[in-house]
Amino acid sequence: MRPDLTTLQSYLQVLLTHPDPAERAAQTAPALALLPFDDASRIARGRGELSGLERIDIYREMYLLRMYDALVADYPALLTLFGEKRFRAFVRDYVAVHPSRSYTLNRLGDHVPGFLATWAPKGLKRLSSEVARISLALTETFDAEDRPGERPSLDGLPEGALLAFRFGVSPALRVALVSVRALDAFDALKAGERAPKTVRSGRTAVLFSKENGAVVRREEPEAAGFLLQRLGASEPLAEAVAATLSRFPRTQPAEIQAWLRAFVASGDLRAL
C-alpha cells in the first residue's frame, strides 16, 4: 500500500534533514513512526549502481549544501573564526536542531547566537555567540522593511501620561548588546582577517538601522542600547527608565534625556 502524499512528504523530510545517511535515518524513531523500514526502499527506485536510499542521499547532501550557503551568507565572520571544517560541522549540527521551517532561508539562522553559546568550543563560546548576535542584527536590518514613521509628540503631556507613554520603533532597527572585543573581532573576521589578539575592554551597544535603503551602523553606550531595547518592547517609559537605572546605576538622568531626544530625532523611536 502506497503512503499518502502528506506521509510521503513528512517521511522524505525526515530522511533529507537527518545528519546521517538515509539508510540509518530510515531506522530512527521519527522515520519508523511514518513508515516501516522495509518500505523505505520503495520510496525511490534504484538506478544503476545506486539503491533508492543512496539516491535520496544525493538530495540529502544537496540540502546541507543549501543550508551551508545560506548560513555562510549571513555569518561570514563565523566561517573565518571557525575555519572551513568546523563551520561545516556547525552547519550540520545546527540544522539538525533548527531545520528550516519557512519558505525562505532568510530566517534559517535566527537561532545561531543561542546555539553557539552551548555548541562552540569552550574558548570560543562567548565570542562566537556575540559575533553571531551582531551578524544576526545586521541581516535582520537588511531584510526589514524601510518605511517612514511619525515622530512621537511628548510636548505638553502631563507627568502621569509621560511616564506611561509607550513608543514604537523603526521596523528596521536592531540593537545588539555585546563586548567591545566581539565588535572588533566581527569587523576583522568579516574582512577575512583573524580576530585581533589585543582587544579593547568593556561593552557597547551596536545599532543597525536604514537610511534611504542602506544599512547604517553606529555605536551607543550599552545603557543607551538597553533603554532602547526596553522601549522597543513597548514598555512604558517609566518602567524602561527604572530598569535601565537598576542595571546601570551610574547612569545620570541627564544622559537618559539626551538619549531619548536623540532616538526620537533619528527616527529610532516612533509613535505607536
User: Which of the listed residues 74, 97, 117 is the one where a domain comes to its end?
Assistant: 74
Is the same domain home to 69 and 98?
Answer: no
Per-residue pLDDT in tens (0 to 9) along the chain, 272 residues = 678 888 888 888 888 878 788 888 888 999 899 988 887 777 777 788 788 888 888 888 888 899 999 999 999 999 999 999 999 999 999 998 998 888 888 899 999 999 999 999 999 999 999 999 999 999 999 999 888 888 887 777 788 888 899 999 999 999 999 999 999 999 999 988 988 877 778 999 999 999 988 999 999 999 999 999 999 999 999 999 999 999 999 999 999 999 999 999 999 999 88
Is the same domain home to 123 and 2?
Answer: no
Is the same domain home to 130 and 65?
Answer: no
Residue numbers of the domain that contains 111:
75-270
Is the same domain home to 60 and 146?
Answer: no
Is the same domain home to 48 and 83?
Answer: no
Q: How far is CA 188 from CA 81, 170, 185, 239, in A?
A: 10, 28, 5, 37
pLDDT in tens, 154-181: 777 788 888 899 999 999 999 999 999 9
Give me the number of domains the chain comprises.
2
pTM of the model: 0.84
Is the same domain home to 86 and 211?
Answer: yes
Classify residue 199 by burial, with Cβ atoms within 10 Å: 0-12, 13-18, 19+. Answer: middle
Is the same domain home to 18 and 102?
Answer: no
How is residue 61 written as a grid cell?
547532501
Q: How far is 67 from 176, CA to CA, in rounded Å?
A: 24
Q: Which residue has the cell 540544522?
A: 95
Angle between helices 84-97 and 112-119 (to 10 degrees): 110
Angle between helices 112-119 and 125-143 (to 10 degrees): 170
Is the same domain home to 108 and 202?
Answer: yes
Is the same domain home to 87 and 48?
Answer: no
Is the same domain home to 105 and 228?
Answer: yes
Is the same domain home to 39 and 159?
Answer: no
